[in-house]
Amino acid sequence: MVSLDKGRSISNIVRRSPTANSRLVYGQTAIKHKEYFDYVLSFFTPYCANDYIPQSRLVVDNRTKKTYSAISFTTMQLPCFNIYRELFYDANKKKIVPENIRELLTPRGLAFWIQDDGSKHGSGLHLSVYGFSNADVDKLMFTLQDKFNLRCSIHYNRDNKPRIYIFKESILGRVSDLVLMQYFHGKENLEWLEVT
């Protein structure tokens, strides 16, 4: 669970009050990702209430006005999630990247991060890092370059929010092998990662 959590910690770990324990909130907004959603849920089922049923709802994209089906789960509030909350969020509930991210981010954590926040862009892929400061985005990009030998740069979307771009040669040479061969059930889960 530790390497999975480190990849997931770049998502949402919440605490209702300063004295409460933390919980993980996880969701997907595309029905085609249901198999992957169930895969992630299988790791966290022991941390959910007995007979927990994931929540389904409709979500409207404010930009495109399209409606999507979303599914999510929430763990119980437990002390084991507090360490991740303290690592990846500051006192003002703002997402941060810890100084030791290079040691924390494992190949498996990177694989989950790509599955959760990655999207194909041209011949490469974007990793969404919208909730982080520019300094923290730099820290993440340098970690990907230094630890995983990935060729990366920072792109900005229409709203001037940063994304990490991983170039085609890094996908073909490193990312596809890492994600496909080591950590996920099959190629059908990563068809968006195929580069032509």
In degrees and rounded to multiples of 5, residue 127 shows phi and psi of -110, 120
187 three-class SS: helix
Protein fold of 2-88 = Endonuclease I-creI (3.10.28)
pLDDT of residue 184: 55
pLDDT of residue 196: 42
Do the bridges between strand 124-128 and strand 67-74 make them parallel or antiparallel, or are there none, so unpaired? unpaired
- Is the overall model pTM greater than 0.85, yes or no? no
* Residue listed under structure tokens 């993440």: 140
Q: CA 130, CA 120: separation in Å to the nearest integer?
A: 16
- Domain ranges across the chain: 2-88, 101-193
pLDDT of residue 130: 87
pLDDT of residue 195: 44
The CATH number of 101-193 is which of 3.40.50.300, 3.10.28.10, 3.40.710.10, 3.40.50.620? 3.10.28.10
Q: CA 90, CA 3: separation in Å to the nearest integer?
A: 21
User: Tens-of-pLDDT digits for all 196 residues of the chain?
Assistant: 344 444 444 457 777 777 789 999 998 877 777 888 898 899 999 999 999 999 998 888 888 888 888 899 999 999 999 988 889 888 888 999 999 999 999 888 888 888 888 888 888 889 999 889 999 999 999 999 999 999 999 999 888 889 999 998 888 767 766 665 545 544 444 554 544 4
pLDDT of residue 132: 92
pLDDT of residue 7: 46
What radius of gyration do the chain's Cα atoms show? Answer: 17
pLDDT of residue 178: 66
Q: CA 108, CA 88: separation in Å to the nearest integer?
A: 18
191 three-class SS: helix
pLDDT of residue 159: 86
Q: Do domains 2-88 and 101-193 have the same CATH topology?
A: yes
The DSSP annotation for 113-172 comes to HHHHHEEEETTEEEEE-TTS-HHHHHHHHHHHHHHH---EEEEE-TTS-EEEEE-HHHII
pLDDT of residue 147: 92
CA neighbours closer than 13 Å in the CB half-sphere of residue 28: 16
